[in-house]
Amino acid sequence: MTAGSPVSPIPVGPTGLSSRARRFVEVAGIRVPRQDIRRHRDAMIRHGIPAAEADRATAFQDRWGGLALPPAPSYEGGPRTLDAGCPERMAGQGWSFEAGQCRVSMAYGFKIGPDGAFGIDAYQWTPLHADTDGWVESLALADHARRWARTVTRIKGKAVEALNLGGFEPVPEVRGVTDNWWRGEDSLIAVYRGEAVGLDAPQCLEAHIYGGLDEWGLHGG
């Protein structure tokens, strides 16, 4: 696919996602024309970018490029559209590439790290989820929980550290690293630590508590 070539505005959920996340991508997402970075592969290699890194960015673009999803409930909504940038070195940590441009002016950008994690590059590299699938799963779960919860409570800072997560289990599909989701008997809790860690700003620690969920509300596929 070349830059600006016509694409169907209706995306297909990539394989490997939960049924909930596939529905979210297909119902709430749209496809827009995406950059064709494959044709720049040879130029990237001539400029010193390892072939494996060029191929990694290309694979991301093939899977996610041009996908626009509704705003995330944190990080000022996340990337406007998922799109791979040119790979670049991270100081002492290997290679990364941009995952998409921010929706608003931000103190950090969204990147795919050396090990494939999706995260933010602020004062330091902070992986949020083990991969982009995890980020999309988190978006899908937030959208689902918001629709089905009887109550939604947001807390910040020290109140998050005081949360009692006894009896809760981590939600595996979000592949949490710095951020994570927790599932209890009738509630879901999303804990967003990325800005607190990446900006060294404990006051930015935030959690969203979705209460009053039935079995469907807790899982949703």
99 contacts 110 by C-beta, under 8 angstroms: yes
What's the rounded mean pLDDT across residues 108-125?
95
Give the per-residue pLDDT at 1: 41
pLDDT at 39: 86
Enumerate long-range contacts of 24-31, CB under 8 Å, 24 or more apart.
Answer: 24/69, 24/136, 24/139, 24/140, 24/143, 24/144, 25/67, 25/69, 25/136, 25/140, 28/69, 28/70, 28/143, 29/67, 29/68, 29/69, 29/70, 30/67, 30/68, 31/7, 31/66, 31/67, 31/68
Confidence tier at 5 by pLDDT (50, 70, 90): very low
Q: Say yes or no: 83 and 185 in one domain.
A: no
Residue 173 structural domain: 142-219
Helical (H) or strand (E) element with 206: strand 206-211
- Confirm whether 5 is domain-assigned: no
Would you say residue 14 lies in a domain? no
What pLDDT, on the 0 to 100 scale, is given for residue 213?
A: 98
For the cut 60, the answer to whether the pLDDT of residue 48 exceeds it is yes
| Same-domain status, 90 and 197 | no
Instruction: Note whether residue 2 is domain-resident.
Output: no
* pLDDT, tens digit, 9 for 90 and up, residues 67-115: 999 999 999 999 999 999 999 998 878 999 999 999 999 999 999 999 9
Average pLDDT, the chain: 93
Residue 55 CA to chain centroid, in angstroms? Answer: 21
Q: Please identify, among 135, 170, 185, the residue that sits at the C-terminal boundary of a domain.
A: 135
Q: Is residue 201 a contact partner of residue 179, using CB atoms and an 8 Å limit?
A: no
- Same domain? 98 vs 202: no
* Residues 42, 92 share a domain: yes
Confidence tier at 150 by pLDDT (50, 70, 90): very high
Distance of alpha carbon 185 from alpha carbon 179, whole angstroms: 21
Last residue within a domain, chosen from 79, 101, 135: 135
Domain end, chosen from 89, 108, 135, is at 135
Question: What 8-state DSSP symbol labels residue 204?
Answer: G
The rounded distance, in Å, linking the Cα atoms of 205 and 191 is 8
Is residue 63 situated within a structural domain?
Answer: yes
Which residues are CB-neighbours of 87 under 8 A, at least 6 positions away?
Answer: 44, 49, 50, 53, 54, 56, 57, 95, 96, 97
User: What is the DSSP-derived secondary structure letter of residue 176?
Assistant: B
Could you tell me which residue, 64 or 42, shows the higher pLDDT? 64
Whether residue 6 lies inside any domain: the answer is: no
Residues 79, 30 share a domain: yes
Is residue 110 within 8 A of residue 97, CB to CB? The reply is no
Average pLDDT over residues 191-204: 97
Strand partners, 155: 207
Same domain, 149 and 131: no
Residue 25 sits in the same domain as residue 40: yes
Same domain as 148, residue 126: no
Domain count, the chain: 2
Residues 125 and 179 in one domain: no
pLDDT at 40 over 90: no
* pTM for this predicted structure: 0.93
Average pLDDT estimate for 43-70: 94
Establish if 8 belongs to a structural domain.
no
Residue 205 has pLDDT above 80, yes or no: yes
Give the number of other Cβ atoms within 10 Å of residue 32's Cβ: 14
